[in-house]
Amino acid sequence: MGFGRSECETCRRDFPALGRKLSGYPLAYLDGPAGTQVPQQVIEAVAGYYRTCNANTHGAFETSRETEEVIHGAREAVAAFLGAPSWREVSFGANMTTLNFSLSQALVREMRPGDEILITELDHEANRGPWLGLRERGIAVREVGLQHDGTLDYADMRRKITDRTRLVAIGYASNALGTVNDVPTARKLAREVGAWLLVDAVHYAPHFSQDVTALDADFLLCSAYKFYGPHVGILYTRPGLLAMLRTDKLRTQEDEAPFRIETGTLNHAAIAGVKAAIEYIASWGQGETLRARLVSAMEGIAFHEHEIARFYWENVRKLPGVEAWGQDFTSPRRAPTVSITIAGVRPSEAARALGGKGILVWDGDFYAARAIEVLGLAEGGGVLRTGISMYNTREEIERLLEGVAALAQR
């Protein structure tokens, strides 16, 4: 079983929000890169936690023990989702940005003034700001250039990695343009100089199956609200590495990985929902283990999303005055996220007009502010972004195309 049109129709029944209408229009949620809708199974898991075992951890009583089991189970599910060796490599936090800031504070303690960090112009600010902030601690932060076609300049990356580079921080997929970056090349270059590799997989995780072990990343971050779960940030750290880092932590906090970077009380109910989201994805795949079902489900979902995104890409470009940014869809290694500009129409105006017809798309830079500046699109208000998730259909894209065509003709 793949994940095709009929599976998509079936899955739509699991997402209560898809039933909502606005002024008679069914809502078309094409805003997935900013957060997907959640299936009933996730809603139930969150509500179920509050109904049955809402407690803090480390208590000598049943609901506290159950809470610890919920969190442990979620770590195991995330480990399967990422291809991590075990739950010990999976830390939780408020969101990816907060975890990355915490990590930056720990990593800078292992650096000396004059050491270098390499970031990219394509990345979301969440994978730039925490590193740029270390300039005030004497760390040199360099940036890999973004090319007009939406890809990174790997010759520039080669030039900018030096013997002083301690960290290469790169996105796996761009939330603005859908580009999938060549992380294996970044890893190879980072390894040659003994630098850590950190991967922002927030936009990649909802669209492709992942294998952190094969990727050989030191750190990988993602966010469950982008893959049908609640608002929880996730940090994978290579086995043994987190325990060596001097994280900001209380003396009362556990010392070992994965707890070492988890300050304060976690969002237990949301974490219950993370496990449910991963199990929900797995329910669309086949195999003996959770990992096998996840890999198979993500392959099917990726294929479905790619087809729908390609349909949009190919047709929207034919409209007069429309420019589609980023790479084409000849490669399956392209995230199903398409950004366009319409001559004479500001993206915010287009998003508002489409929103009035129940078509939910984003405008602006989506915090990929540097990429939008480099492409010369900032002054015009950025781009109009359409994201495809597992529940999106060709009919929704046809509605979107009609709406964009009406705007383009004005």
Ligand X SMILES: Cc1ncc(COP(=O)(O)O)c(C=O)c1O
Alpha carbon distances (Å) from 22 to 35, 255, 314, 364: 19, 50, 28, 23
Measure the CA–CA gap between 400 and 316, rounded to whole angstroms: 9
Q: Does 104 bind ligand X (CB under 6 A)?
A: no
- Distance of closest approach, residue 224 Cβ to ligand X, in angstroms: 9
Provide the pairing of β-strand 165-171 with 196-200. Answer: parallel
Q: Which residues contact 131 (CB under 8 A, 6 or more apart)?
A: 104, 117, 119, 139, 141, 167, 169
User: Which of these segments, 18-26, 91-99, 151-159, 376-384, binds ligand X (CB under 6 A)?
Assistant: 91-99
Site residues (CB under 6 A) for ligand X, limited to 191-210: 200, 202-203
Pick one of 37, 91, 97, 339: the residue that binds ligand X (CB under 6 A): 97
Amino acid type, 246: R
Whichever of 83 and 93 has its CB closer to ligand X, that residue is: 93
Q: Which of 90, 333, 116 is nearest to 221 (CA)?
A: 90
Task: Count other C-beta atoms under 10 Å from residue 131's C-beta.
Answer: 25
Q: Total number of residues binding ligand X (CB under 6 A)?
A: 15
Pick one of 75, 124, 238, 291: the residue that binds ligand X (CB under 6 A): 124
- What DSSP letter does each residue of 82-149 carry, written as one string? HT-SSGGGEEEES-HHHHHHHHHHHHGGG--TT-EEEEESSS-GGGTHHHHGGGGGT-EEEEEPBPTT
Q: Which residues contact 106 (CB under 8 A, 6 or more apart)?
A: 245, 246, 247, 248, 261
Whichever of 234 and 282 has its CB closer to ligand X, that residue is: 234
In the Cβ-directed half-sphere of 335, how many Cα atoms lie within 13 Å?
Answer: 33
Q: Does 233 bind ligand X (CB under 6 A)?
A: yes
Q: Does 96 bind ligand X (CB under 6 A)?
A: yes
User: Which of these segments, 76-84, 123-131, 185-193, 279-287, binds ligand X (CB under 6 A)?
Assistant: 123-131
- Distance of closest approach, residue 126 Cβ to ligand X, in angstroms: 4
Whichever of 166 and 203 has its CB closer to ligand X, that residue is: 203
Pick one of 104, 179, 223, 296: the residue that binds ligand X (CB under 6 A): 223
* Residue whose tokens read 């034919």: 318
- Distance of closest approach, residue 234 Cβ to ligand X, in angstroms: 9
- Distance of closest approach, residue 334 Cβ to ligand X, in angstroms: 15
Pick one of 175, 181, 210, 327: the residue that binds ligand X (CB under 6 A): 175
Whichever of 75 and 203 has its CB closer to ligand X, that residue is: 203
Q: Does 171 bind ligand X (CB under 6 A)?
A: yes
Site residues for ligand X per CB under 6 A: 33-34, 95-97, 124, 126-127, 171, 175, 200, 202-203, 223, 233
